[in-house]
């Protein structure tokens, strides 16, 4: 069975209730079942967690899935704290051994000390419409989410040895979040899962 570790980084804060990312986690629970050929573990950053247990989840997983909203062009502070704490504690405990460099030639191989051999996938939610990333003269200067805002996030995961699966990003979820739009986001996410996890499903 394929081992899936999901991190719900949707934080309850100010006007954000974290409902959309919690919904994605519920879709994961329904999809990544034993009947479909998966084992699932998950962490909700709104709940208390144990560092040793979280390290064990990363080491255990074949695929790590991150769900989080983009706040001020980055991760919610609680998710950043989670990563800072867990990744630091994971040093020489199965996540990464070093920064990858050797004393005899410290100018090369930075970021090559990761120990994990799994994959990861990320979803993000945005108030910004997709056109803010694609149209000339719009705010994100025609840089995609992955090329721009998430560049450091992707480098971070490669640092610990993970390799990426295609991301999926949900746009305009604050000002255009009616039932029809939410249903479309759900449909698109399920298509994404079927596309990138098809061979693991056990068909009756």
Summarize pLDDT for 12-43 with one digit per residue, the tens: 777 777 799 999 999 999 999 999 999 999 99
Q: What is the reported pLDDT for 40?
A: 98
Note whether residue 62 is domain-resident. Answer: yes
> What is the residue range of 171's domain?
2-196
The number of beta carbons lying within 10 Å of the beta carbon of residue 21 is 27
Q: What is the reported pLDDT for 202?
A: 47
Q: Where residue 67 sits, what CATH number does that domain have?
A: 3.40.50.360
Residue closest to 121 by CA, chosen among 174, 195, 35 = 195
* In the predicted structure, residue 141 carries a pLDDT above the cut 50: yes
Note whether residue 204 is domain-resident. Answer: no
pLDDT in tens, 99-108: 999 999 999 9
Mean pLDDT over residues 147-176, rounded? 95
Note whether residue 107 is domain-resident. Answer: yes
Q: What is the reported pLDDT for 45?
A: 95
CA triplet 140, 120, 133: central angle to 5 degrees? 10
Note whether residue 37 is domain-resident. Answer: yes
* In the predicted structure, residue 67 carries a pLDDT above the cut 70: yes
* In the predicted structure, residue 127 carries a pLDDT above the cut 70: yes
Sign of CA dihedral 203, 122, 48, 115: positive
Domain count of the fold of the chain:
1
pLDDT in tens, 46-56: 999 999 999 99
Note whether residue 203 is domain-resident. Answer: no
Q: pTM to 2 decimals?
A: 0.94
């Amino acid at each position: 069975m394929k081992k899936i570790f999901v991190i719900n980084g949707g934080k309850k804060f100010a006007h954000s209730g974290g409902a959309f990312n919690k919904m994605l986690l519920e879709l994961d629970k329904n999809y990544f079942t034993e009947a479909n050929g998966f084992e699932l573990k998950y962490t909700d950053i709104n709940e208390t967690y144990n560092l040793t247990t979280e390290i064990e989840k990363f080491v255990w997983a074949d695929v790590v899935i991150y769900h989080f909203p983009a706040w001020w062009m980055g991760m919610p502070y609680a998710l950043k704290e989670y990563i800072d704490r867990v990744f630091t504690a994971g040093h020489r405990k199965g996540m990464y051994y070093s920064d990858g460099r050797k004393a005899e030639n410290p100018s090369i191989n930075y970021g090559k000390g990761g120990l994990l051999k799994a994959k990861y996938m990320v979803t993000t939610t945005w108030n910004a419409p997709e056109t803010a990333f694609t149209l000339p003269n719009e705010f994100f200067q025609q840089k995609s989410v992955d090329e721009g805002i998430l560049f450091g996030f992707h480098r971070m995961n490669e640092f610990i040895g993970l390799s990426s699966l295609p991301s999926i990003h949900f746009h305009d979820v604050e000002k255009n979040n009616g039932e029809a739009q939410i249903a479309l986001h759900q449909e698109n996410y399920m298509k994404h899962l079927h596309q990138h996890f098809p061979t693991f499903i056990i068909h009756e």
